[in-house]
């Protein structure tokens, strides 16, 4: 049978509808059970093949506020150009003038220049780019890290499967258990919150021993899942706190030259922390950079945020390469939307969801590759429109997730990784 992604859009829709009818009627077990996947009857998106499962780890760089595509990944000339002229790169495409470090790594990256979003509002846009679904008052959707934990289990004996750096994870577990939520690290320098106790090791040992005795009767009497899970959380926490794994969170242990290379700012150090974490066994690390809402003075904004991004991203790609991790690590760069071609009265650019760019690098993707395009002004999609759902499905695919498999939420509603997006096969390698 012809893989579904080769069908035209109408027959694809017909297929999805038919498939939905057959699966939606199925009675499922309570709580996040897995349904028979479409893959068993037909293939909507490829499982296996190029890129599939290449990424054992993901570093997800999130530019909060709306990163201007024109000043970074999709440079233009003429009146929409902005403060800096495009620059040449190691590959056969250009980048925004601020991206001088990234230009040196252009051979390692794929850019999607035909992204398109339905929302131009920050919070709603951020929600969609992280989970693929629109925000609702009735359910929360999981981020990719939580999806991966659902399909692939934990990524390490003690370390969490997902970590969220420089931002609140906002319940990224979605409808999965709370243990699927990314662990937040709000300050990369400070590491994990509340991870050190304010007493001596000796006293803590005695406290824990006493706690074990004091609580034994209750644990024996109430052998419920709730009580057991708390006991597990205590065990895990004590394990993490007393193990060397906690050091994964300590960027102070990195050589100072390397820390310098990433840039001495929250985002740069966050990227360094991300590398440490994935190296030690965390599967999915999101690193956020705020301040991209450049309505005013985009020149100054790009000078600050843009340079931070460029420096950190260059250092990260180099560092991963040097350690032999780039082949198994996917680095993602994205934002909730782009910014418009017009420089406004305050020297800034306004929200622009109609077209924008994202970047993928490392595991499972081609290097030096551009997919899709915007028009000459960077205003509309010119070719190969790519939705956020397509984008997230592509990442899920590279992570080896069955993106077409329907999972029922505890409220019995059907969901898939990336909300039935179409994997962008062209960028896979």
Residues at the interface with another protein (CB under 8 A)? 24-25, 29-31, 135-140, 160, 168, 170-171, 177-179, 181, 183-184, 186, 192-199, 202-203, 206-207, 210-211, 213-215, 217-219, 221-227, 229-231, 233-234, 236-237, 240-241, 411-413
CB 122 within 8 A of CB 36: no
Please report how close the Cβ of residue 21 comes to another protein at its closest, in angstroms.
Answer: 9
Q: Which is nearer to another protein, 73 or 240 (CB)?
A: 240
Nearer to another protein, 107 or 215 (CB): 215
Q: Shortest gap between Cβ of 385 and another protein (angstroms)?
A: 18
C-beta closer to another protein: residue 217 or 324? 217
- The candidate with the shortest Cα–Cα distance to 417, out of 117, 150, 55, 155, is 150
For another protein, the closer CB: 77 or 168: 168
Token pair of 193 as six digits: 């919150």
Beta bridge partners of 334: 62
Rounded Cα distance, 326 and 406, in Å:
31
**Which residues are CB-contacts of 99 (< 8 A; sequence separation ≥ 6)?**
72, 73, 87, 306, 310
Shortest Å distance, C-beta 306 to another protein: 23
Q: How far is the CB of 327 from another protein (least distance, A)?
A: 30
Kind plus residue range of the DSSP H or E element containing 383: strand 381-383
Q: What's the closest the beta carbon of residue 215 comes to another protein, in angstroms?
A: 5
32 or 114: CB nearest another protein:
32
Q: How far is the CB of 128 from another protein (least distance, A)?
A: 14
In terms of CB distance, is 88 or 207 closer to another protein?
A: 207
Three-state secondary-structure class, residue 145: helix
Tokens of 407: 């999972």
Nearer of residues 33 and 77 to another protein, judged by Cβ: 33
CA angle 360, 365, 371 (to 5 degrees): 65
Expressed in percent and rounded to 5, the helix, strand and coil fractions of the chain are 40, 15, 45
What are the C-alpha distances in Å from 162 to residues 166, 233, 293, 419?
13, 16, 26, 20
Residues in contact with 384: Cβ distance below 8 Å, sequence separation at least 6, in sequence order: 114, 371, 372, 373
The CB-of-19 to another protein minimum distance in angstroms stands at 13
Gap between the Cα atoms of 267 and 333, Å rounded: 13
């Amino acid at each position: 049978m012809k893989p579904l992604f080769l069908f035209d859009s109408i027959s694809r829709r017909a297929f999805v509808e038919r498939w939905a009818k057959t699966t939606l009627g199925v009675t499922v077990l309570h709580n996040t059970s897995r349904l028979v996947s479409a893959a068993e009857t037909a293939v909507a998106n490829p499982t296996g093949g190029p890129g599939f499962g290449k990424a054992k780890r993901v570093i997800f760089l999130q530019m909060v506020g709306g990163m201007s595509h024109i000043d970074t990944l999709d440079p233009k000339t003429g009146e929409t150009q902005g403060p800096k002229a495009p620059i040449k790169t190691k590959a056969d495409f250009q980048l925004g003038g601020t991206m001088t470090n990234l230009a040196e790594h252009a051979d390692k990256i794929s850019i999607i220049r035909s992204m398109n979003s339905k929302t131009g509002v920050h919070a709603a846009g951020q929600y969609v780019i992280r989970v693929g679904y629109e925000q609702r008052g009735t359910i929360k959707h999981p981020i990719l890290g939580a999806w991966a934990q659902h399909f692939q289990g934990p990524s390490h004996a003690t370390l969490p499967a997902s970590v969220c750096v420089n931002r609140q994870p906002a319940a990224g577990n979605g409808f999965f258990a709370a243990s699927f939520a990314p662990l937040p690290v709000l300050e990369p320098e400070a590491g994990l919150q509340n991870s050190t106790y304010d007493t001596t090791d000796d006293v803590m040992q005695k406290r824990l021993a006493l706690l074990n005795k004091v609580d034994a009767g209750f644990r024996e009497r109430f052998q419920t899942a709730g009580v057991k899970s708390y006991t597990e959380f205590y065990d895990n926490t004590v394990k993490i706190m007393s193990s060397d794994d906690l050091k994964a969170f300590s960027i102070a242990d990195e050589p100072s030259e390397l820390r310098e290379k990433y840039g001495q700012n929250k985002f740069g150090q966050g990227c360094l922390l991300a590398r440490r974490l994935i190296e030690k066994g965390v599967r999915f690390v999101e690193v956020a950079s705020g301040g991209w809402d450049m309505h005013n003075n985009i020149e100054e904004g790009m000078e600050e945020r843009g340079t931070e991004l460029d420096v950190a991203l260059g250092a990260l790609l180099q560092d991963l390469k040097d350690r032999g991790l780039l082949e198994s690590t996917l680095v993602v760069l994205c934002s909730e939307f782009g910014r418009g071609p017009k420089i406004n009265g305050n020297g800034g650019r306004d929200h622009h969801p109609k077209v924008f760019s994202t970047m993928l690098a490392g595991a499972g993707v081609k290097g030096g590759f551009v997919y899709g395009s915007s028009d000459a002004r960077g205003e509309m999609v010119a070719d190969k429109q790519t939705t956020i759902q397509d984008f997230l499905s592509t990442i899920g695919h590279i992570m080896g997730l069955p993106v077409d498999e329907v999972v029922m939420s505890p409220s019995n509603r059907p969901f898939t990784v990336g909300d039935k997006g179409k994997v962008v096969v062209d960028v896979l390698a």
